[in-house]
Structure 1
Amino acid sequence: MISGTVKISVSSPDGRSAILNLIGPGEIFGEVAVLDGQARTADATANTNCEIFVIDRREFLPFVQSQPALAMKFIELLCARLRWTSDQVEQVILQDLPGRLASALLRLTEKHKLAQGGRTSAVTQQELSEMVGMTRESINKQLRAWAARNWVRLEHGAIVVLDAEPLQALAGAGSEDD
């Protein structure tokens, strides 16, 4: 990704969808299909205007085979993605709804690493609902409760994390607290 945001998602036959990841500038996607030559495991949809650099598998594989350092970087990337996916599965199975939402917000804001004034995640409540398996209404209710505690600030199309500590506690404990 050079610029913009791409949504990585899957859909069920009955029309439900789940967002697996949001990819931003400097990140890559589609690496599994490039490496194994199989169909993509998820859909990639531009969330904003995007500039994307496309790599052809026929050219990429010989190049990566001749560059061991690049091959190692790809292995590291795949390991990081596997760990991230394992964390997501663990959250869905073991965390309650507030814990899953807190984990998702922290994961998204960590990508941006913004300093003082909070960490902003340019994500809609609908997108969050598709990421954590909650209804948009439940997301809204939880975010408003956290906003009342000054943990987050809601902006149009974005959520600003003002105090990460209580969210980290929820993410770690999966507490029933709202």
Structure 2
Amino acid sequence: METNAFSEIFPLFDFASPETLEWLLTVVEEQDYPKDTVIITEDNWGKAVFFLVSGWIKLRYSSKENQVTLDILGRGDCFGEMAVLDEAPRLTEVIALSDVEIISISAQRFIQMLYKEPQLHHRMLQLTVKRVRQFYRRFLLPQYTAKVRVVKMLIALAENYGQSTERGTEILYLPQRDLADLAGIKPEETVKILESLNHKGWIEIDKSHRTLTLTNLKQLNHLVKQL
């Protein structure tokens, strides 16, 4: 991968020097994972930082009684950095929601890179603040109706990871259970809401290609502000 392409996919490295990017691309490892693969178990955090070149993953909390999807990440995002910076145990695992391409850098080299590039310290702090803000917004979701919760999650995924097409902004068609977990509602409610949005023409679902296109972001944003 060329350094320009790397910084284009990962905005975190916008201000990294060309020398740092060139060094980074010589030390990273590339991995491909098919859909439904467990990429990281709860015992394997803290060894490396991972960058999503393509595809979708979910962070899931698992116990003997239950499994809950905590977050969905897509192309251009990273994960594992907090476990490297904070060595506290993690109770989550990472699952591939689609075929994914990932590059990783060892924890030691990641820390070395942060010391080498002060700007990256600042960008990592911004990323951490962004994640905290997102979880804070999720914490406030229960005050909204089920429909608004689902729409808010769809808009967030589209803004963070969506791909522009002629029809609108395309994201992964998530399993209803995962979207329901994010919205804090029951899967059957999620199905009805998606069917309603699809019927109105505000989204388009292509189950064969596992895509969901937000065809009317303006109306969806209006719905969120209205209710």
Bin of the TM-score, shorter chain as denominator length: 0.7 to 0.9
Asked if residue 116 in structure 1 is aligned to residue 169 in structure 2, the reply is: no
CA separation of 1:40/1:172 partners in 2, compared to 1, >3 Å: closer, same or farther? farther
Greater strand proportion: 2
1:36 to 66, 71, 86: 86
Shift of 1:32: 0.7
TM-score normalised by length of structure 2:
0.68
* Residues 129 and 136 in structure 1, CA contact (< 8 A), matched pair in contact too: yes
Where does structure 2 lack aligned partners over 5 or more consecutive residues?
Answer: 1-51
* Residue 3 (str. 1) matches residue 92 (str. 2): no
Q: Helix, strand or coil: the match of 1:71? A: helix
Q: Which runs of structure 2 are paired with 1:59-98 in the superposition (5 Å)?
A: 59-91=109-141, 93-98=142-147
Q: Deviation at 1:165?
A: 2.6
1:162 aligns with 2:215: yes
What's the secondary structure of 2:220's corresponding residue?
A: helix
Paired residue secondary structure (1:55): strand
1:99-152 Cα distance to aligned partner (Å, 9 max, x none): 100101111112214143122221223321222122222111111122222111
Summarize the Cα distance change of 1:168–1:13 in structure 2 as closer, same or farther, 3 Å threshold: farther
Among residues 94, 97, 107, which one is paired with 1:57 in the alignment?
107
Answering whether residue 198 of structure 2 is matched by residue 147 of structure 1, we say: yes
Shift of 1:158: 2.4
Q: CA RMSD in A?
A: 1.9
- How many residues align structurally? 172
Deviations 1:44-82, CA, capped at 9 Å, x for gaps: 112222222222222222331232111111111111111
Cα contact 1:32–1:40 (8 A) shared by 2? no
Q: Indicate conservation of the 8 Å contact 1:98/1:170, yes or no.
A: no
> Which of 165, 174, 181 lines up with 1:130 in the alignment?
181
For 2:118 and 2:91, how far apart are their aligned partners in 1?
A: 26
Q: Deviations over 1:2-35 (max 9, x none)?
A: 2222111223542141x22222222101111011
Higher deviation after alignment, 47-56 or 97-106:
47-56
Moved more, 43-52 or 96-105: 43-52
Deviant stretches of 4+, over 6 Å: none
